[in-house]
């Protein structure tokens, strides 16, 4: 990168080198800025690591001192959730112990050795699969996101539009993993789906016995019985020993702790898809089977509660994703939505995966509102909240994929800024 | 998959379904087979998970009961290593706490806040970068493997060819991560490399002050200053807060805990690249700067100490990788190398990354030796150990990329089988 493009950055670093002093105070960014917000403390003193032997090898590694990302918990009796710290992550993969959770009756304790999956209904050969059986079929892997359809609901109500909400609180019901397993189509061919079948029912082995209907087309397309996550066995919170993976669709349909698949010729209309996960519209009707997660994006830096310590060059960073294939463009506005500029998409840009976008911004030190909007390969553009209200009303609890906004005040403090635009 | 292709599998599962009994004993595979080898015990009794609430959400997830992959430790005073359990993993990504370790003086304790990287030598503007500075430059991510150049040395000596060695012991100095950071070319353009420069020196901040020379061409190509690993901060064992990443090259050159880069017009000939990491040849000369990891593959299932409990259909599975770009083919032999068949490559097939291959094998129950050999996009084919001995002699300690083999005995026990072919 030529110096002329980023005078602020190179000047500061050069000054640090020339004077031999650390550029602390001038070079605060991201976590530094976040940590600086509530308090300042002297860094602990450690010995010169070139003068003392380090610690030996270990069977399991651990995070560095000072690196303590955590999920954010929300417990409503048995029905609870925890959210991924999106603002602290980088790249594509969500570490498995930070993958968001959402379950209706807690995480069941299941041993792989005694788990069985029954596949029956409109099939030629009803079969029970143990995990050892599933593992003998050809394996597949893919990187994709899982998102709870309730994600983003914290900033949809006109009367309760927040200002002090973090990216983790707002959109942390979103995580991305490399999933490994057997394609559901392989198993459905093994049992032989009968003519006339058009849906499946997927049922979980948790205390909620979560059950959802899924069209057979999706089941035969890219659906997977996933038993692996990020290189190892799927985590208990994600459905150990096996979950249904429906790339790009709402998380609740990807039934965890999967114990039964029934092939049928109609949706089963379970409690879980009528009492929940159906979207009331403003005309009194409802959308049912709103499976696909539409294009969405969120700026993770700067976001609340970061503080920009100085004007000058900052790299706006965020995540974009769509259940309809690839993200083709993310635009960023740094003037409250009046003008938009295409952001750079960071590789890898995988279909039905989170994609990281980046945009260099020379902040002039004045108050403004920054936004992002994603476009996917179908041409769909992430709508404004007003467009979503116009289309669906304000009473829907799911699929809040409207544009998010952050207000940067003149003192560098950042708050959620959607309310400032209404 | 049509039934006729895999009669053994579908028949067994069908029987289980028809009789209502679990197919245990018949359907042992992988971990089940491994666990069955030393002892058999009754599975612990757990309550029906649909009848009891599960555990609540947690700030950090943990592995399932019974899933306990571990690194294998080898400590030689200060110089030590730990190896990734390749045979227990799946997909592409190595979980960060299972990434292999190799260090000459332990893992230093470093705080990101007080770490500095000096870039100097044949440059226009020598500069010191703090982590906060590095994080303001455009970020990049890529998935690639890191392998110690000593990997596989446990099965190279003709006189000490092992039989009871696991894939983890043999090839576990190999891991794959999504790395995130700033391209080294970005930083080198910032400081301005002077005409005539052709090498860099990279120096670490550990007690070994590990230092390696790297050609400037590589530094300006795909080298990265990596501060992120699998979505979060790089782990201490991998160089926290920043390491040099040289995709496809030997691990020791990817200096960890990076504190200094000096641009020069020649290699520095450090202790670490003359006393080690130079390969003696049989004619008395030596190869120096053998940076690139050539194409290699290893079967991870079946491998020692797995036991195949029955003849019939098994899926041979393994890893292939090359530092020269993409793996284009992996062939498998199930008859000691007389005939070879192309294996399926599991997506994603990324350059300079481990790639998983799979081959369905109908084992007839007779003793045999199975092998794999990888081909990369340059046309290079993984050699036999005899070819490697012919080319380099038996006295070299690095770059042992010869074909690996496993002997499957008539009773299903699996041992390392290269010695059986000599």
> Is residue B356 scored above 50 in pLDDT?
yes
Find the CB nearest A65 among B94, B109, B190: B109
8 A C-beta contact, residue A188 and residue A220: yes
> Span A139-168, mean pLDDT?
96
Looking at residue A396, what is its pLDDT? 87
> Is residue B8 scored above 70 in pLDDT?
no
Least confident of A324-328, A391-395, B336-340, B352-356: A391-395
> Span B298-318, mean pLDDT?
95
Best CA proximity match to B405, nearest among B315, B340, B334: B334
Q: What is the ipTM of this complex?
A: 0.88
Looking at residue A42, what is its pLDDT? 53
CA atoms of A336 and A403, how far apart (whole Å): 11
Best CA proximity match to A122, nearest among A296, A301, A263: A263
B347–A140 C-beta distance less than 8 A: yes
pLDDT single digits (tens) B15-29? 333 333 333 333 334
> Span A277-288, mean pLDDT?
87
Residue of B nearest to A52 (CA): B207
CA atoms of B237 and B218, how far apart (whole Å): 24
Looking at residue B226, what is its pLDDT? 98
> Is residue B267 scored above 60 in pLDDT?
yes
Q: How many CB atoms lie within 10 A of CB B317?
A: 24
Find the CB nearest B125 among A14, A78, A88: A14
CA atoms of A172 and B303, how far apart (whole Å): 41
CA distance A395 to chain B (A): 28
> Span A284-309, mean pLDDT?
94
Looking at residue A269, what is its pLDDT? 92
8 A C-beta contact, residue A346 and residue B139: yes
| Beta pairing, strands B258-264 & B116-121 | parallel
Contacts B22 to A, Cβ<8 Å: 114, 116, 128, 130
Contacts A89 to B, Cβ<8 Å: 231-232
CA atoms of B170 and B154, how far apart (whole Å): 6
B232–A98 C-beta distance less than 8 A: yes
CA atoms of A295 and A277, how far apart (whole Å): 18
B113–A27 C-beta distance less than 8 A: no
Element (H, E) at B315: strand B312-321
**Which residue in A40, A42, A132 has the most chain B C-beta atoms within 10 A of its own C-beta, making it the best mutation to test that interface?**
A132
**Which residue in A1, A4, A13 has the most chain B C-beta atoms within 10 A of its own C-beta, making it the best mutation to test that interface?**
A13
> Span A55-70, mean pLDDT?
93
8 A C-beta contact, residue B95 and residue A232: yes
Looking at residue A43, what is its pLDDT? 56
Least confident of A377-386, B187-196, B387-396: B387-396
Find the CB nearest A90 among B126, B228, B360: B228
- Output DSSP code: residue B381: B
CA distance B314 to chain A (A): 7
pLDDT single digits (tens) B14-70? 333 333 333 333 333 444 444 333 344 555 678 899 999 999 999 999 999 889 999
Find the CB nearest A54 among B99, B206, B313: B206
Contacts B129 to A, Cβ<8 Å: 13
Residue of B nearest to A50 (CA): B207
pLDDT single digits (tens) A171-202? 999 999 999 999 999 999 999 999 999 999 99
B58–A112 C-beta distance less than 8 A: no
For A322, left (φ over 0), alpha (ψ -120 to 50), or beta?
Answer: beta
Best CA proximity match to A150, nearest among A399, A394, A404: A399
Mean pLDDT, chain B, integer: 89
> Span B372-401, mean pLDDT?
96
This prediction's pTM: 0.90
Element (H, E) at B286: strand B286-287
Find the CB nearest B129 among A13, A89, A206: A13
Q: Token digits for A299?
A: 């700026």
pLDDT single digits (tens) B160-176? 999 999 999 999 999 99
- Beta strands of B77-164 (E only): which ranges? 79-83, 101-103, 116-121, 127-130, 140-147
B63–A235 C-beta distance less than 8 A: yes
Residue of B nearest to A96 (CA): B61
Looking at residue B146, what is its pLDDT? 98
Looking at residue A136, what is its pLDDT? 86
Looking at residue B43, what is its pLDDT? 56
- Output DSSP code: residue A123: B
B24–A130 C-beta distance less than 8 A: yes
pLDDT single digits (tens) B125-139? 999 999 999 998 989
Residue B233 backbone phi and psi in degrees, to 5? -60, 140
Tokens 């994080």 sit on residue: B135
B70–A57 C-beta distance less than 8 A: no
| Beta pairing, strands A116-121 & A258-264 | parallel
8 A C-beta contact, residue A64 and residue B240: yes
> Span B409-422, mean pLDDT?
97
Looking at residue A44, what is its pLDDT? 63
Contacts B143 to A, Cβ<8 Å: 348
> Is residue A375 scored above 70 in pLDDT?
yes
Contacts B257 to A, Cβ<8 Å: 49
Q: Using CB atoms within 10 A of its CB, is residue B16 exposed (0-12), middle (13-18) or buried (19+)?
A: buried
> Is residue A280 scored above 90 in pLDDT?
no
Work out how many CB contacts closer than 8 A connect A with B: 412
Looking at residue B18, what is its pLDDT? 34
CA dist A226 to A141, A245, B123, B224, B386, Å?
9, 6, 51, 33, 41
């Amino acid at each position: 990168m030529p110096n002329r493009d980023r005078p602020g950055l190179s000047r500061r670093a050069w000054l640090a080198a020339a004077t031999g002093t650390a550029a602390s105070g001038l070079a605060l960014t991201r976590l530094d800025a976040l940590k600086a917000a509530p308090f300042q403390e002297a860094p602990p003193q450690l010995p010169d690591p070139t003068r003392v032997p380090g610690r030996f090898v270990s069977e399991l590694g651990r995070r560095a001192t000072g690196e303590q990302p955590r999920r954010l918990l929300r417990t409503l009796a048995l029905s609870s959730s925890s959210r991924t710290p999106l603002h602290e992550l980088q790249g594509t993969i969500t570490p498995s112990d930070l993958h968001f959770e959402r379950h209706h009756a807690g995480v069941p304790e299941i041993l792989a050795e005694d788990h069985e999956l029954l596949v029956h209904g409109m099939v030629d050969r009803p079969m029970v699969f143990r995990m050892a059986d599933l593992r003998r079929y050809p394996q597949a892997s893919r990187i994709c996101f899982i998102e709870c359809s309730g994600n983003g609901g914290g900033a949809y109500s006109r009367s309760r539009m927040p200002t002090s909400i973090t990216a983790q609180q707002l959109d942390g019901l979103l995580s991305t993993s490399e999933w490994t397993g057997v394609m559901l189509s392989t198993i459905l061919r093994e049992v032989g789906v009968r003519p006339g079948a058009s849906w499946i029912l997927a049922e979980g082995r948790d205390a909620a016995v979560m059950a959802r209907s899924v069209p057979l087309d999706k089941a035969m397309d890219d659906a997977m019985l996933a038993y692996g996550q990020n290189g190892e066995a799927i985590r208990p919170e994600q459905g150990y020993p096996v979950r249904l993976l429906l790339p790009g669709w709402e998380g609740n349909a990807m039934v965890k702790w999967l114990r039964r698949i029934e092939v049928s010729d109609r949706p089963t209309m379970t409690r879980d898809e009528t009492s929940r996960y159906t979207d009331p519209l403003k005309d009194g009707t409802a959308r049912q089977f709103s499976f696909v997660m539409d294009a969405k994006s969120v700026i993770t830096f700067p976001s609340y509660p970061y503080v920009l310590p100085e004007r000058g060059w900052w790299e706006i960073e965020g995540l974009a994703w769509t259940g309809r294939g690839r993200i083709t463009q993310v635009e960023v506005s740094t003037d409250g939505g009046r003008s938009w500029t295409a952001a750079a998409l960071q590789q890898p840009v995988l279909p039905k995966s989170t994609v990281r976008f980046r945009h260099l911004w020379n902040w002039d030190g004045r108050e403004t509102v920054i936004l992002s909007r994603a476009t996917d390969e179908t041409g769909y553009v992430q709508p404004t909240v007003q467009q979503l209200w116009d289309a669906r009303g304000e009473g829907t609890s799911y699929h809040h994929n409207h544009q998010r906004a952050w207000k940067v005040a003149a003192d560098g403090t950042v708050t959620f800024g959607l309310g400032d635009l209404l």
